[in-house]
Amino acid sequence: MSSLLATGRTHDCGSLRREHVGNEVVLFGWVHRRRDHGGRIFVDLRDRAGLTQVVFGPDIDEGAHALADQLRSEFCIGIRGTVVDRGENENPNLPTGAIEVEAHTLEVFSTSATPPFVIADDDRLDVHENLRLAYRYLDLRRPCVQRNFLLRSRLYQITRSVLTRHGFWELETPYLVKYTPGGARNFLVPSRLNPGTFYALAESPQIYKQLFMVAGFDKYFQITRCFRDEDLRNDRQPEFTQIDVELSFATPERVFAPIEELVAEALRELAGHELELPLPRLSWREAMERFGTDKPDLRFGLELRDVTEVTRGCGFRVFESAPLVKGLCVPPEHAAPLTRSQLDKLTDFVKKREHGGAKGLAWARVEPDGSLKAPFAKNLSPEATAGIVRVMEAEPGSVLLFVADDFDTVHTALSALRLHLRDLLGLLDEASPSWRLAWVTEFPLFERTDDGRYVSAHHPFTSPLPEDVPLLDTDPASVHAQAYDLVMNGNEIGGGSIRIHRADVQAKVFEVLGLDEEEKQQKFGFLLEAFRYGPPPHGGIALGLDRIAMLLAGAESLRDVIAFPKTQRGHDLMTGCPTPVDEAQLAELYITHRPLPGRDDT
RNA sequence: GGGGCGGUAGUUAAGUUGGUUAUAACGCCGGCCUGUCACGCCGGAGGUCGCGGGUUCGAGCCCCGUCCGCCCCGCCA
């Protein structure tokens, strides 16, 4: 073994200060940058803790100086030397800038080929993502990337600390689970021992954690991987990490309390932000009405206003004939960028299918005398004009933007427009990031499919609000659930529910979902059987750990907080997976595949 | 399945109406340099313009197809 390795390092590259001057130290790390002045060679030595300037010179050590001439970027080296005060030459940009290490010994542990991109260009992430992913281990060397993973590591520790303090047991559930169609698409794992049958990779530990409650474990949590074979997005990976939580004798408030403490501590420790508890609660209905979405960004105003009533019989047919007319009021101080051509762009924006596909955007400016200047204004009755100005809380100089359509279209379009205006008009202060969290509660229990069937909005074990139970018979669409999401800055970071523990209510829900006895037994027989033996009332939540880490890190993508992520097409560019497999292994599993699409082998 | 953006030197980008030898910065290689810290100076190497086909006297540029990456819809909590 080399002498320095045997000695071991005395410090990391981020910790030396003026108080260490005179110490003999051993540092290990990578050559971040090298500046060769002939008689002086400076090396910024990097490890995960920081940078330390190391100096080589013939007067310090002739051999080390000669060897340092051969150093190049990303060589992995060890040095022994003396900490000296830099005095006038202090570098204020480095935490270790007050000192440098005069190297008496240099050992090259390993040389490095010229990396495909420069690791030291740390603050610039502008390397193509495919290259970053192909050389992920080098990408992960960058200090700015490493910071995200330190944050992520601390998030695990905070989670464990807070939840353990609250009496939760950390437990594990299987990844190889029973295949249940419906919900997210499963990854399948063939069973060699049972040819022709498959496990599924768990989409979530949902059913197992409920069985923990039946088992009397009372309070459970797990930081666990979940697998979903669905299309990827900026904030969606096929494997991701949840903080999964379940507790017995639960009410929504009893679920919220420890979770609020967890996010508060995470924000305090990782973002330096003191969260005010309890967090605001917002019913789903209120969130939709005020923001047009179930995950409102509460960092700015610009709330939706309903002018349906005041525009009945107003003289403008578009408004009169629509089931719902709502609008946004851009106050005068932000309205300047909204020129005529910009308003035309906003009209195109709301017409796009992904922004709701509204038929148009009606806009108006409020004149100093309180009248409206707009293409449609001449049609408006004075009463309607006054009503609009009042409801919109408009003042002279405000710009009003209206969408008239059905409930879904109006809210989708105005919600998208609201976020668009947030960015267009700079409604957030980028310099001082703010953190606005809220619980969105009382989601609808069911959603209607195109062919009129009911499906669970959350999952089939979600409990209705007690007062809505009778509606299961008469009007399932209006039943609200004891289901909730946790929303942070317009992102859903968690969701959960109180589960059904009463057999009669569960039976009713299955009835609405159209599950017959056979399907029930086939899909959930074991859970229903378990629920015959005194299940406690229970409920829980799952938090998206990756998303929380992404937001706290200020990252743009989930990929920035997952060490080895997949591309949008599900590829790992470093290993090249997924790949075909050996025919022999397929044969062992009794698997053949159909002709592949788009490959004409003939 | 659909819509949009992108792919030019190791990297990031520029490349005019289709026209001479495809540019720049950084990086890399060699040399010089004892106070730099994005060191500096001098010199040099480096190109399958993603891939395939087409139009043309001539294609990085136009057309068709295809692969890859990113963003979005559908899908997915």
Tokens of A229: 């074979």
- Both A463 and A559 in one domain: the answer is yes
Cβ of A33 near strand B (distance < 7 A): yes
Cβ of A73 near strand B (distance < 7 A): yes
- Report the distance from CA of residue A40 to the C1' of nucleotide B33 in Å, as an integer: 9
Write down the ipTM of this complex. 0.92
pLDDT at A602: 33
CA angle A295, A297, A302 (to 5 degrees): 120
Least Cα distance to A441 among A243, A285, A334 occurs for A285
pLDDT at A517: 85
Hunting for tokens 């030397």 — which residue is that? A81
Cβ of A583 near strand B (distance < 7 A): no
- Both A440 and A418 in one domain: the answer is no
Cβ of A492 near strand B (distance < 7 A): yes
Least Cα distance to A246 among A600, A515, A494 occurs for A494
| Whether residue A228 has pLDDT greater than 70 | yes
Which residues neighbour A499 within 8 Å (Cβ) at sequence distance 6 or greater? A210, A461, A462, A463, A538, A539, A540
Tokens of A224: 């666990």
Report residues 455-474 of A contacting strand B, contact meaning Cβ closer than 7 Å.
457-458
pLDDT at A601: 41
Report CA-CA distances (Å) from A320 to A308, A379, A380, A387, A405: 8, 11, 11, 14, 10
- Both A152 and A232 in one domain: the answer is yes
Cβ of A228 near strand B (distance < 7 A): yes
Q: What is the CATH number of the domain that holds A314?
A: 3.30.1360.30
How large is the average pLDDT for residues A318-345? 89
pLDDT digits (tens, 9 = 90+) for A376-397: 888 788 888 999 999 999 999 9
Cβ of A352 near strand B (distance < 7 A): no
Q: How many CB atoms lie within 10 A of CB A476?
A: 20
Lowest mean pLDDT among A122-126, A179-183, A212-216: A122-126
Cβ of A100 near strand B (distance < 7 A): yes
pLDDT at A520: 85
- Both A26 and A97 in one domain: the answer is yes
Contact of A192 with A238, CB cutoff 8 Å: no
- Both A546 and A451 in one domain: the answer is yes
Cβ of A53 near strand B (distance < 7 A): yes
- Both A152 and A249 in one domain: the answer is yes
pLDDT at A302: 93
- Report the distance from CA of residue A191 to the C1' of nucleotide B43 in Å, as an integer: 65
Task: Give me the helix-helix angle, A340-351 and A407-424, nearest 10°.
Answer: 140
Report the C-alpha dihedral over residues A78, A83, A86, A90, rounded to 10 degrees.
Answer: 60
Cβ of A142 near strand B (distance < 7 A): no
Cβ of A569 near strand B (distance < 7 A): yes
Q: Is there a domain that residue A580 lies in? A: no
pLDDT > 90 fraction of chain A, expressed in percent and rounded? 76
Sign of CA dihedral A530, A533, A539, A540: negative
pLDDT at A351: 87
Q: Is there a domain that residue A593 lies in? A: no
- Report the distance from CA of residue A134 to the C1' of nucleotide B52 in Å, as an integer: 25
Q: How far apart are CA A498 and CA A382, in angstroms?
A: 50
Hunting for tokens 């939540």 — which residue is that? A541
pLDDT at A519: 84
Nucleotide closest in space to A42 (CA vs C1'): B36
Q: What is the CATH number of the domain that holds A466?
A: 3.30.930.10
- Both A517 and A412 in one domain: the answer is no
pLDDT at A124: 59
- Report the distance from CA of residue A40 to the C1' of nucleotide B47 in Å, as an integer: 37
Nucleotide closest in space to A94 (CA vs C1'): B37
How large is the average pLDDT for residues A496-516? 91
Q: Quote the pTM value.
A: 0.94
Nucleotides of B under 7 A from a protein CB: 1-2, 10-13, 26-29, 32-40, 66-77
Q: Is there a domain that residue A583 lies in? A: no
| Whether residue A598 has pLDDT greater than 60 | no
- Both A444 and A566 in one domain: the answer is yes
Least Cα distance to A166 among A50, A296, A261, A44 occurs for A261
Own/partner contacts of A40-45, CB < 8 Å, gap of 24 or more, are: A41/A65, A41/A68, A41/A69, A41/A71, A42/A100, A43/A68, A43/A71, A43/A77, A44/A120, A45/A13, A45/A77, A45/A79, A45/A101
Own/partner contacts of A390-396, CB < 8 Å, gap of 24 or more, are: A390/A310, A391/A305, A391/A306, A391/A307, A391/A310, A392/A305, A392/A307, A392/A327, A392/A329, A393/A305, A393/A329, A394/A329, A394/A366, A395/A331, A395/A332, A395/A366, A396/A332, A396/A366, A396/A367, A396/A368, A396/A369, A396/A370
How large is the average pLDDT for residues A191-215? 96
| Whether residue A276 has pLDDT greater than 70 | yes
The rounded mean pLDDT for chain A is 92
Q: Which of A389, A424, A459 is the last residue of a domain?
A: A424
Q: How far apart are CA A142 and CA A435, in angstroms?
A: 27
Range of the domain at A102: 3-110
| Whether residue A248 has pLDDT greater than 60 | yes
Q: What is the CATH number of the domain that holds A93?
A: 2.40.50.140
Q: How far apart are CA A288 and CA A297, in angstroms?
A: 12
Contact of A526 with A332, CB cutoff 8 Å: no
Cβ of A117 near strand B (distance < 7 A): yes
Report residues 196-225 of A contacting strand B, contact meaning Cβ closer than 7 Å.
203
Q: How far apart are CA A267 and CA A244, in angstroms?
A: 19
pLDDT at A341: 82
Higher pLDDT, A458 or A496: A496
Q: Is there a domain that residue A227 lies in? A: yes
Tokens of A429: 């202060």
- Both A49 and A74 in one domain: the answer is yes
- Report the distance from CA of residue A129 to the C1' of nucleotide B35 in Å, as an integer: 38
CA angle A182, A187, A193 (to 5 degrees): 110
Helix, strand, or coil (residue A397): coil
Q: Is the peptide bond before A278 cis (omega within 30 degrees of 0)?
A: yes
Q: Is there a domain that residue A186 lies in? A: no
**Per-residue confidence band for A593, with pLDDT thresholds at 50, 70 and 90:** confident
pLDDT at A251: 96
Which residues neighbour A305 within 8 Å (Cβ) at sequence distance 6 or greater? A326, A327, A328, A329, A391, A392, A393
- Report the distance from CA of residue A139 to the C1' of nucleotide B6 in Å, as an integer: 21
How large is the average pLDDT for residues A236-241? 96
How large is the average pLDDT for residues A95-115? 96
Q: Is the peptide bond before A382 cis (omega within 30 degrees of 0)?
A: no
How large is the average pLDDT for residues A587-601? 76
- Report the distance from CA of residue A125 to the C1' of nucleotide B22 in Å, as an integer: 27
Q: Is there a domain that residue A19 lies in? A: yes
How large is the average pLDDT for residues A213-217? 97
| Whether residue A553 has pLDDT greater than 70 | yes
- Structural domain count of chain A: 3
- Report the distance from CA of residue A135 to the C1' of nucleotide B46 in Å, as an integer: 22
pLDDT at A218: 97
Q: Is there a domain that residue A599 lies in? A: no
From the CA atom positions of chain A, what is the Rg in Å? 30
- Both A451 and A567 in one domain: the answer is yes
pLDDT > 70 fraction of chain A, expressed in percent and rounded? 98
pLDDT at A127: 87
- Both A387 and A450 in one domain: the answer is no
Q: Is there a domain that residue A247 lies in? A: yes
- Both A413 and A470 in one domain: the answer is no
Least Cα distance to A40 among A67, A24, A59 occurs for A59
Cβ of A111 near strand B (distance < 7 A): no
pLDDT at A1: 58
Nucleotide closest in space to A126 (CA vs C1'): B12
**Per-residue confidence band for A123, with pLDDT thresholds at 50, 70 and 90:** low
pLDDT digits (tens, 9 = 90+) for A127-162: 889 999 999 999 999 999 999 999 999 999 999 999
- Report the distance from CA of residue A557 to the C1' of nucleotide B54 in Å, as an integer: 40
